[in-house]
Amino acid sequence: MLRAPGLLLAACAAIPCVALAQPGGLRPLNDSALSDVRGRDGVSFDLNGYSMSGDLRVTYTRPDGASIWAANPSASRSDSAVPFSDPYRFDILRSNSGLADVAQFSLPANANGEQKWQFAYDFGVNADGISRDGGAVVVSDLALYGGGWQFTTPRTQDGLALGVALRMEIGQWALRPNGRANTVGQMALDNIRIGATDENGNFTGQPWVIADVARQPAVVNAQADENGPHLHIGIGLPDTQYGSGQAASGGIEIGKISFTAPSGNVDLGSSRIGNIQINYLDIKFRQ
């Protein structure tokens, strides 16, 4: 559903006297009134009943010929009770602080947890003369609760500036070396939770703001030095000019870590990190 309130402004400009005032009648809009009308650029869409599968294959090959690949992806999403009641959104946000405009992709709030995703894909490697089918990754009952991504231009360098906010629950993430339909030999993480936490390490029910394009932007770009080019991924220090000087707190909880073997299951129990703050991150990938 494309929303373009700016069309009303265009119509009023072309026909100055056509403006709806109140049920009793019409009145013309003067320049002052027209200047208060602001349109927004954006699109909303729903994915009720979405599913996909195919034989797509993506391969990354190093200069020395070694490669890693992922193939045969599948994905599906359960339906909401009321279609289009909680859509995804993509908006262009105008900055009021002198920064560049921001493209923002917002996830549904999904308050009732009805929207759940199922994912799977196969993967493998080819290196040192050995071609190895690594098996499959299978993700069950992934529910996203609000948050999303922001995209804009960096303030001080080339590349892409990012913002990320995430609240997520996963029923199970499984690595299956014998294929997606075979659970023998799998490593599984069950009941995963990721989200914002308070000072006591308790989940707040809100997305964890890992990066924000104004207050603490992430950046992805290519850099070169005396050792050659490399991919750079980073998150800057919090900027007090646009908010708190403290990084947002988040938590990760895993309800169960287990391995499945022919001789029996191995249960390693649960794991939890109550408070995570990313104050600064700088990662460089070299060839």
Residue 147 Ramachandran class (φ > 0 left, ψ -120 to 50 alpha, else beta): left
Cα–Cα distance measured from residue 242 to residue 211, given in angstroms and rounded to the nearest whole number? 13
How much is the average pLDDT of 59-84?
90
Check whether residue 129 and residue 205 sit in a common domain: yes
The number of distinct structural domains making up the chain is: 2
When pLDDT is cut at 50, 70 and 90, the band that residue 263 belongs to is confident
Check whether residue 35 and residue 174 sit in a common domain: no
pLDDT value at residue 183? 93
Nearest to 56 by CA among 11, 121, 129: 121
- pLDDT over threshold 90, residue 217: yes
Check whether residue 3 and residue 60 sit in a common domain: no
Check whether residue 123 and residue 177 sit in a common domain: yes
Please check whether residue 192 is in contact with residue 254, taking contact to mean a CB–CB distance below 8 angstroms.
yes
pLDDT value at residue 21? 39
Check whether residue 35 and residue 48 sit in a common domain: no
Nearest to 12 by CA among 45, 43, 36: 36
Cα–Cα distance measured from residue 49 to residue 77, given in angstroms and rounded to the nearest whole number? 6
- What residue type is assigned to position 264 of the chain? G
pLDDT value at residue 201? 93
How much is the average pLDDT of 211-222?
92
**pLDDT 10s digits, 274-286:** 899 999 999 988 7
Q: Which domain holds residue 26?
A: 1-39
Average model confidence (pLDDT) across the chain: 85
Please check whether residue 93 is in contact with residue 102, taking contact to mean a CB–CB distance below 8 angstroms.
yes
Check whether residue 59 and residue 22 sit in a common domain: no
Residue 269 vs residues 191, 201, 229, 255, 260: alpha-carbon distances, Å? 12, 20, 43, 7, 14
Check whether residue 18 and residue 129 sit in a common domain: no
Check whether residue 65 and residue 158 sit in a common domain: yes
pLDDT value at residue 10? 35
Question: pTM for this structure?
Answer: 0.80
**pLDDT 10s digits, 132-171:** 999 999 999 999 999 999 999 998 878 999 999 999 999 9
- pLDDT over threshold 80, residue 44: yes
When pLDDT is cut at 50, 70 and 90, the band that residue 18 belongs to is very low
Check whether residue 180 and residue 218 sit in a common domain: yes
Check whether residue 132 and residue 168 sit in a common domain: yes
Instruction: Write the DSSP assignment of the chain as a string of letters.
Output: -EE-THHHHHHHHHSTT--EEETTEE----HHHHHT----EEEEE--TT-EEE---EEEEE-TTS-EEEEEEEEEEEPPPSSTTSS-EEEEEEPPSSSPPPEEEEE----TT----EEEEEEEEEEETTEEEEEEEEEEEEEEEEEEEEEEE--SSSSSEEEEEEEEEEEEEEEEETT-TT--TT-EEEEEEEEEEB-TTS-B-SS-EEEEBTTTB-EEEEEEEETTEEEEEEEEPPP-GGGS-SSPPEEEEEEEEEEEEETTEEEE---EEEEEEE---EEEEEE-
pLDDT value at residue 38? 53
Check whether residue 81 and residue 145 sit in a common domain: yes
Check whether residue 195 and residue 211 sit in a common domain: yes
Pull the structure tokens for residue 23: 């049920």
When pLDDT is cut at 50, 70 and 90, the band that residue 207 belongs to is very high
pLDDT value at residue 227? 75
Residues counted in the chain: 287
Please check whether residue 202 is in contact with residue 208, taking contact to mean a CB–CB distance below 8 angstroms.
no
